[in-house]
Amino acid sequence: MIKKIEEGLYRIEIPLPKNPLKSINSYVLIGKRALVIDTGFNMEKCYTVLFKGLRELGIEPKKVDVLSTHLHVDHLGLSEKIARNLLMSKIDAEITVKEMLDPEYWKKIAEIYVKNGFPEVEARKVTRIHPAIKYGSKFSGEIVFLNKGEILEYGNFCLEIIFTPGHTPGHVCLYEAEKKIFFSGDHILFDITPNITFWESMKDSLGEYLRSLDKIHELEVIKTLPGHRNFKNSHKKRIEELKRHHRKRLEEALCSVKRGYNTAWEVAQHITWDLIYENWEDLPTMQKWFAVGETIAHLEHLELNGMIRKKEEELIRYLPK
């Protein structure tokens, strides 16, 4: 489960049971002060693997800092159990503390999805089974807000904080300029595509994501360390692949609207998803939720760029220009 990447830098691969992501990469930097980048769900199996890995590396929980690249519970859930300090962007920290742990937040989000055509019964189910609800925890220690351009020193590493909104409103990446190592969180993944979904606090999450890709394109990188699955060398080729992926998805969404499918729920069923299920009806509720959220993000991007128009009545509908 532990892989040495280079001196003072290790990866602990933490399983995410019954989740299509399969596992998360938790990176550990060792020195006078230890840093853990991302943690896994707040569940016993994740904790057992992380605790065992830290112990093998000679690190005691509650004596480490934890940096969460973003607010998703697979990156944040175990912070309460291992962190002395939790480092993350103020934007994501405030969403986590003030909103995502509040049942009223999920009711409000469910209502937005229902207005986009999502069946009400399934939306109510999401407010009970969403991973953020099942595997989250409230951090009671000190939260240290990260600043854009700030340099963090751990061991022999100097990590520059780069804000990369899109996957979440306050997602951050880390760049070690001398070693040319890039910790990409969920901003860049190689074996799967990051989910770019609707966020109430972001006017154009897809547009923000594409701009964030451009922001880090020119960095000199010899090793890219993502939040999930395998890590690769340069990130530039993957950035171009991700941009092509979203252009194709935008084309599919636009084509669907022109064919008369006008809610996000309807359009989502006519977009190509990399899933093992042949029929939309067979998708688990959470997979439908993520697909519709991503569809809303793409439809909003098209509307903001003048490609389609939005009509808000009992349902939100997207119509041809």
316 has pLDDT over 90:
yes
For residue 118, is it left (φ>0), alpha (ψ between -120 and 50) or beta? beta
Domain with CATH 3.60.15.10 in the chain: 2-101+136-234
Alpha helices in the chain (DSSP H): 44-56, 73-76, 79-82, 90-95, 103-115, 120-129, 131-134, 205-217, 236-258, 264-268, 285-304
pTM of the shown model: 0.95
The more confident residue out of 237 and 137 is 237
Domain with CATH 1.10.10.10 in the chain: 245-320
- Give residue 97's pLDDT: 77
The span from the CA of 114 to the CA of 112, in Å, is 5
- Give residue 140's pLDDT: 80
Dig out the tokens for 9 from the structure. Answer: 């830098």
233 has pLDDT over 80:
no
Q: For the chain, what is the mean pLDDT?
A: 94
CATH entry, 2-101+136-234, from 3.60.15.10, 3.40.50.150, 3.90.230.10, 3.60.40.10: 3.60.15.10
The more confident residue out of 321 and 261 is 261
309 has pLDDT over 90:
yes
43 has pLDDT over 90:
yes
**Neighbour-count burial for 166-192, b at 16+ CB within 10 Å, e otherwise:** bbbbbbbbbbbeebebbbbbbbbbbee
The stretch 21-25 carries a mean pLDDT of: 95
The span from the CA of 2 to the CA of 16, in Å, is 16
Give per-residue pLDDT as tens, 115-143.
Answer: 999 999 999 999 999 999 888 888 888 89
199 has pLDDT over 80:
yes
Domain 245-320 has CATH 1.10.10.10: yes
100 has pLDDT over 80:
no
272 has pLDDT over 80:
yes
